[in-house]
């Protein structure tokens, strides 16, 4: 079993035990598209044969230095007439279902503007025969490399374009999620010549739900001692680096790493964005531990 397969299995097992079971292909907390399987992860445009259809790029993702090669999803658009004129891609498979019921209150993703025009990246969705688009637009300047964006699912953060369903009703029955570029909130996107790299599209919880999830992680690692070189490998925060000095990281020490991360999550959106990736890497390190 590969590391990624094991991690995916771990998430399903963990959150399946915390939340009610979801139908096949429905959203679940912790779900992540990292495109390591060489596919486009069911992200598509209307014309699959278009030269502007999404493609899997086998290397150059945000973790290329540490997980070489790191595949990612490339979206592109022509900016002219016809199919592929707009930067917009939809998913009607794994990114559907009852988001709030699954405890999913936001999405984080890594983005990289690989084109020559500035892009304002947004999310949009359809649910309960209504359509919504994010008010938040994540500005991507060409040539600035990979950046992590987080979109929160609160009613005030979204504009409704069609239908009569409430925001809550739509998020309880999402039928389509979209990634797009638009200066203003939109469901269809704007005509633009653009190329954007996308990776690690992840269903994330609000901080209180995250605390519950991390409690589950801590329960799983109770009783195991993790060599410090594994815990501190690829460390990026001072919380992690200080454990480099330890020859062994005890269960208590590892719990304190999680606790400090949790505390930082409580301080709001900015730290939530910044701390997600280090936390994810910490989780990866736990997965690499010598479990009996």
Site residues (vs Ca ion, CB under 5 A): 34-35, 61, 70-72, 199
Structural tokens at position 22? 């979801």
Residue nearer to Ca ion on the CB measure, 22 or 112: 112
Whole-number Å distance between alpha carbons of 127 and 129: 5
Residue nearer to Ca ion on the CB measure, 91 or 239: 91
DSSP symbols for 145-198? --EEEEEE--GGGEEEEE-S--HHHHHTSEEEEEEEE-SS--SS--B-EEEEEE
Whole-number Å distance between alpha carbons of 154 and 106: 9
**If residue 20 lies in a helix (H) or strand (E), which one and from where to where?**
none
Residue 249: CB minimum distance to Ca ion, A: 28
Strand-pairing partners, residue 109, are 149
Residue nearer to Ca ion on the CB measure, 78 or 112: 112
**Cβ neighbour number for residue 51 with a 10 Å cutoff:** 10
Residue nearer to Ca ion on the CB measure, 67 or 176: 67
Whole-number Å distance between alpha carbons of 194 and 202: 23
Residue nearer to Ca ion on the CB measure, 137 or 197: 197
In contact, 195 and 60? CB cutoff 8 Å: no
Residue 115: CB minimum distance to Ca ion, A: 19
Residue 70: CB minimum distance to Ca ion, A: 5
Length of the chain measured in residues: 292
Residue 122: CB minimum distance to Ca ion, A: 21
Whole-number Å distance between alpha carbons of 234 and 143: 25
Whole-number Å distance between alpha carbons of 259 and 263: 6
Residue 36: CB minimum distance to Ca ion, A: 6
Residue nearer to Ca ion on the CB measure, 35 or 146: 35
Residue 27: CB minimum distance to Ca ion, A: 19
């Amino acid at each position: 079993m590969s590391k990624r397969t094991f991690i995916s299995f771990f998430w399903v097992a963990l959150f399946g035990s915390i939340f009610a079971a979801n139908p096949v292909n429905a959203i679940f907390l912790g779900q992540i598209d990292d495109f390591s399987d060489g596919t486009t992860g069911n992200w598509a445009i209307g014309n699959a044969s278009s030269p502007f259809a999404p493609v899997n790029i086998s290397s150059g993702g945000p973790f290329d230095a540490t997980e070489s090669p790191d595949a990612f999803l490339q979206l592109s658009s022509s900016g002219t007439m016809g199919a592929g004129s707009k930067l917009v891609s939809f998913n009607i498979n794994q990114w559907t279902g009852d988001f709030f019921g699954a405890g999913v209150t936001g999405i984080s993703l890594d983005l990289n503007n690989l084109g020559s025009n500035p892009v304002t990246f947004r999310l949009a969705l359809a649910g309960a025969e209504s359509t919504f688009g994010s008010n938040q637009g994540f500005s991507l300047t060409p040539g600035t490399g990979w950046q992590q964006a987080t979109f929160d699912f609160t009613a005030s953060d979204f504009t409704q374009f069609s239908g009569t369903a409430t925001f809550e009703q739509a998020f309880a029955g999402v039928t389509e999620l979209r990634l797009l570029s638009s200066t203003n909130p939109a469901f269809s996107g704007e005509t633009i010549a653009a190329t954007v790299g996308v990776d690690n599209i992840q269903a994330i919880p609000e901080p209180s739900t995250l605390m519950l999830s991390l409690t589950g992680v801590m329960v799983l690692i109770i009783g195991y001692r993790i060599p410090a070189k594994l815990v501190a490998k690829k460390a990026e925060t001072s919380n992690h680096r200080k454990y480099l000095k330890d020859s062994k990281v005890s269960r208590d020490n590892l719990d304190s790493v999680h606790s400090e991360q949790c505390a930082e999550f409580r301080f709001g959106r900015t730290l939530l964005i910044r701390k997600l990736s280090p936390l994810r890497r910490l989780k990866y390190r736990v997965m690499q531990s010598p479990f009996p």
